[in-house]
Structure 1
Amino acid sequence: MKKTLLTYVKPHVQEDPLSMILGIGYLGAMMEREKLPIALHDERVGNDQDMKAAIDANDIIGFSALTPNIRRAIAWAKYAKEQGKITVMGGPHASVDQGVFLDSGHFDYVLKGEAEHTLPELVRSIEGNDDNALLEIPGLASMRDGELWVDNPAPPLIKKLDELPIPARHLLPMESYFKNNPEHLVYIFTTRGCPFKCIFCQKELTGRGFRVRSTEAIVDELEHIIKTYDPGVILFVDEILTLRKKRIHEMCDEIIRRGLKFEWVANTRADCVDYPLLKHMHRAGCRRIYYGWESGSQRMLDVLKKDLTPEVIVNAAKMTRRAGIWAKVYLIVGSPGETPQDIAETEKVLRLAGPDLIRISVFNPLIGTESWDNYQASIDISDLSENYVSSNRSGYKHEHFTQIELEELRKRMVRSYEKWYYAMPQRLRRVYERGLYYIENPQHGKKRLGRAVGLVPPPQRHVVTNHH
């Protein structure tokens, strides 16, 4: 039987802490459930020789890559074809731009949409050399003799997420992730999709609906992660974890009921939290929240269709701090029509809100998004076709800033904010606010004081091995 390899192509710049990839983890788990031979490889762990060895050892090579890294995926597919392998591309970019892969001549198949069900179908059809079965696979696109042979629409979105197995973390190099990431970070999904209409977001893969897993399934997986891997931090990588507050209250109740002690991080929006929810999340172990603010200028928030106001942003930051939770925020510079005045308004909101960390990217109109459709006249297609994008460069030709100016602006904003954040007045402000938190939550204050004077020992962690 043919052996399948699913490989994640590394970014040219690794900006986030090294941690596991959930996408190929889910696919690997489905292949195991279907009793099909499967291996997973993360190119970020190891070197080119390791990647070549993984490709050489398997028959069907499936690639996963973010938009900035598709050129690298194509280069690896070329190598795989030279070794006589069958090549497949999936993921968000493949779902909106199949041509860039098929036209390269290095991919036999593209799978659009969620592929947990269609990948096993594809592998079985290849194994059986069954063209009729291939023609029926939802989301499959393929060329033959220079012509498009099959181009099926993506499959319906998977409605019942509880029916999916948990990701095959045991097939991933967990020890290597932990070795390269001092926090021992582990990822988990509880939802798929996002109903908001931000113009810069690709939604073709998971859709604009909002599909959720049950509380029991989520906490079962959390318990499995904790017992198996002893993580330092668990990151909920849902786009908006707290969209439905009731289910997060239920999740926190179940975490507390089972006595699970772990630190976790959430991604969400400023208008999807309130103080009672944030307090409950902290009690259940949430210590950080990552917010997508994008801007502090109302005009830019409207351009990006964020459906937020600066007042909501500032209020969410203050509530988060009051609940004892640390906040990181994501911002975008160089949005269409942005001016120095808009930048100044963003910097003013940052200082009113006082988040603990900011991360700034340059506006990028990705294919398959409203920004791509609306700003075609200002996109340098030839530049994108060669380089694609990253957080610090863009194919968008801005009205008021050059690419160099935007990159300098991005760096200056970060330096300026960090200088302000670490200045003594802000340090004193945070000490004061932390003190108010401990007065309001004396049980945490006693533990913190006990640790400070050595009466309460710090939490202990044991070393986890042999999970790959």
Structure 2
Amino acid sequence: MAYHDVLLINPPSRQRELYEHLGLGYLAACLRQQGIDVKILNMPHWMAPRALQEVKKYSCKLIGVSIPFQRSAVQAFNFISRLKKEGFVTAHVAVGGIYPSFAYEDILKQFSVVDSVVIGEGEKTIVELAEAVIGDGNWRKISGIAFRENDDIVTTELRPSIEDLDAIPFPERDTLPEVLGKLEHAPVLSSRGCYGRCTFCSVVPFFKKFGTPLRMRSSVNVIEELEFLYNRYGVRNVDFNDANFIGGKGRGFRRAQEIAELILKKNLNIKFGIQCRPNEIDMELFTTLKKAGLSKVFVGIESGSQAMLDRFHKDIAVEDNLKALQTLGKLDLITYMGFITFDDRTTIQEFKENMAFIEQAKKLVPQNRLFYDLGTKLLPLAGTDAEKNMKEKGTLSGNSLRFKYKFNDPKMDLLYSTIKLKEDVSRIGRKLKETDKEWIK
């Protein structure tokens, strides 16, 4: 059995898709900077029995588990529970992420196997927690955690966010070679947060709670990481995982322009994808970005109904959404459209407006370039205004792990179920075709 001071785990997920977990990479970099031995186990695409056997190969003092997606939290906690109940580990177990930072009380009350919850960004907290646990010190004194004490849930002083992102070491890339072998692209995080105020998004409430809602790395720092990936790992495809890569007009536009110009100046022959808001899609800026390698854009359109956009606090008009799609279509960029067709208050009229918008979108972006899920229902994520509003109205039942809500208009239930079923069948069909292709190979 191999020993490591810390095991960082990306647990099995309901999506069962392989990806590189940048958050764990950043934690590992900060731990190794202090001489702490770390092993990253990246297993979101594994079944639980295989993942359990893998963890069994190692002993450690601290296990850090990331819960990146609230929808997969139940699977993650079931996995953690099995680790301890089946005697796989006796180490201190800490969990972290946006969801746990808001739902730490639910987590600590329901899962006795969790010893502590890291609240907020974890780079500094994980180092102090590891040093205390490894040295048998009093880890309950460090900032930025929650834990049980008798029958109470205790939280220590909140730790502010790291304002200078350039000061954080580049993430460790232990799992990148495996990911590149499957997906052929590497993730990069050039900023943290967003300036928007969307009611359904937990990103802004999370970062705002601990400091500035949006922080951006310098263009020079981003290019240094791209060059490292380009030369060390042969990366030619990059996905910027930023919630908002552009970061708004002014400083954000200038930084995006600088990144594009530096990519061209350094002759980095890469393709990359970004996420942004519709109001940031500017023909001049995006023409430069495309020259630098921009090939795909995830844009948070969210709705074709002005009433729903206003309810979501998108601070944008339907016409602006259409203009953004028109620009992306003219630039022939692959477009992933974030779209929330249903929330608890969706009306028949709003549904019709959404359907009409989709038809307009198809005319603006070639269909082989436009991707979206029509059967998307708003999730009342922990920490969001959407969750708060539903709780106040009494329409949200369950807890942060298992919740449900009903539509105000019962007819929406039938519409949602019908569209969701159609998309699920289509998705299964595509997966079967992919499986057949792999079998033939």
TM-score by length of 2: 0.85
1:288 to 286, 296, 301: 296
- Deviation larger for 251-260 or 62-71: 62-71
- Deviation larger for 249-258 or 227-236: 227-236
Residue 72 of structure 1: aligned partner: 75
Residue 366 of structure 1: aligned partner: 381
Amino acid at match of 1:280: T
After TM superposition, give the deviation of residue 135 of structure 1 in Å: 3.6
- Determine which structure has more spread, i.e. the larger CA radius of gyration: 1
| Conserved? CA contact 1:303–1:336, under 8 Å | no
Secondary structure in structure 1 of the residue aligned to 2:325: helix
Q: CA deviation digits over 1:289-323, x for unaligned, max 9?
A: 11011100000000111111111111111111222
- Mapped partners of 2:238, 2:414: distance in 1: 37
Q: Kindly tell me: are residues 10 and 333 of structure 1, through their superposed partners in 2, closer, same or farther at Cα, counting changes over 3 Å?
A: farther
1:115 to 104, 112, 122: 122
1:177 and 2:179 aligned: yes
Residue 375 of structure 1: aligned partner: 390
- Mapped partners of 2:147, 2:400: distance in 1: 21
Residue 152 of structure 1: aligned partner: 156
Residue 398 of structure 1: aligned partner: 407
Secondary structure in structure 1 of the residue aligned to 2:340: strand
Count residues in correspondence: 400
Q: CA deviation digits over 1:323-350, x for unaligned, max 9?
A: 2322110111222321122122122222
- Mapped partners of 1:246, 1:62: distance in 2: 37
Q: Kindly tell me: are residues 408 and 230 of structure 1, through their superposed partners in 2, closer, same or farther at Cα, counting changes over 3 Å?
A: farther
After TM superposition, give the deviation of residue 375 of structure 1 in Å: 1.2
- Mapped partners of 1:231, 1:340: distance in 2: 47
Amino acid at match of 1:347: M
Q: CA deviation digits over 1:73-121, x for unaligned, max 9?
A: 2222223333322111111111101112211211111110001011010
- Mapped partners of 1:414, 1:291: distance in 2: 23
| Conserved? CA contact 2:260–2:292, under 8 Å | yes
1:409 to 412, 419, 425: 419
Q: Kindly tell me: are residues 123 and 289 of structure 1, through their superposed partners in 2, closer, same or farther at Cα, counting changes over 3 Å?
A: same
Q: CA deviation digits over 1:45-100, x for unaligned, max 9?
A: 44434422443313221111221122222222223333322111111111101112
- Unaligned residue ranges in structure 2 (runs of 5+): 427-441
Q: CA deviation digits over 1:225-247, x for unaligned, max 9?
A: 12223335211111111121111
- Mapped partners of 2:259, 2:401: distance in 1: 45
After TM superposition, give the deviation of residue 415 of structure 1 in Å: 10
Secondary structure in structure 2 of the residue aligned to 1:142: strand
Residue 334 of structure 2: aligned partner: 326
Secondary structure in structure 1 of the residue aligned to 2:286: helix
Residue 202 of structure 2: aligned partner: 202
- Mapped partners of 1:240, 1:386: distance in 2: 27
| Conserved? CA contact 2:103–2:400, under 8 Å | no
1:211 to 212, 215, 222: 215
Residue 105 of structure 1: aligned partner: 112
Q: Kindly tell me: are residues 415 and 45 of structure 1, through their superposed partners in 2, closer, same or farther at Cα, counting changes over 3 Å?
A: closer
Identity of aligned residues (%): 22
- Mapped partners of 1:345, 1:76: distance in 2: 42
Q: Kindly tell me: are residues 12 and 46 of structure 1, through their superposed partners in 2, closer, same or farther at Cα, counting changes over 3 Å?
A: closer
Residue 192 of structure 1: aligned partner: 192
Residue 323 of structure 2: aligned partner: 315
Amino acid at match of 1:398: F
Residue 36 of structure 2: aligned partner: 36
- Mapped partners of 1:300, 1:63: distance in 2: 36
- Mapped partners of 2:273, 2:283: distance in 1: 17
- Mapped partners of 1:231, 1:386: distance in 2: 37
Q: Kindly tell me: are residues 414 and 240 of structure 1, through their superposed partners in 2, closer, same or farther at Cα, counting changes over 3 Å?
A: farther
Amino acid at match of 1:99: E
Which of structure 1's runs of 4+ aligned residues deviate more than 6 A? 413-416
Residue 59 of structure 2: aligned partner: 58
After TM superposition, give the deviation of residue 378 of structure 1 in Å: 4.6
Residue 439 of structure 1: aligned partner: none
Q: CA deviation digits over 1:400-456, x for unaligned, max 9?
A: 24555413234668999xxxxxxxxxxxxxxxxxxxxxxxxxxxxxxxxxxxxxxxx
| Conserved? CA contact 1:290–1:330, under 8 Å | yes
| Conserved? CA contact 1:362–1:407, under 8 Å | no
Within a 5 Å distance, the mapping from 1:245-324 to structure 2 comes to 245-324=253-332
| Conserved? CA contact 1:288–1:325, under 8 Å | yes
Amino acid at match of 2:137: D
Residue 228 of structure 1: aligned partner: 232
After TM superposition, give the deviation of residue 385 of structure 1 in Å: 5.7
Q: Kindly tell me: are residues 70 and 45 of structure 1, through their superposed partners in 2, closer, same or farther at Cα, counting changes over 3 Å?
A: closer
Amino acid at match of 1:396: Y
- Deviation larger for 53-62 or 358-367: 53-62
| Conserved? CA contact 2:299–2:338, under 8 Å | yes
- Mapped partners of 2:70, 2:46: distance in 1: 22
2:145 to 140, 157, 161: 140
Secondary structure in structure 1 of the residue aligned to 2:59: coil
1:4 and 2:6 aligned: yes
TM-score by length of 1: 0.80
- Mapped partners of 1:54, 1:343: distance in 2: 47
Amino acid at match of 1:79: R
Residue 97 of structure 2: aligned partner: 91
| Conserved? CA contact 2:18–2:43, under 8 Å | no
| Conserved? CA contact 1:333–1:410, under 8 Å | no
- Mapped partners of 2:343, 2:82: distance in 1: 38
- Deviation larger for 2-11 or 96-105: 2-11
- Mapped partners of 2:424, 2:128: distance in 1: 48
- Mapped partners of 1:192, 1:331: distance in 2: 22
| Conserved? CA contact 2:273–2:297, under 8 Å | yes
- Mapped partners of 1:147, 1:365: distance in 2: 26
Q: Kindly tell me: are residues 312 and 236 of structure 1, through their superposed partners in 2, closer, same or farther at Cα, counting changes over 3 Å?
A: same
Amino acid at match of 1:69: S
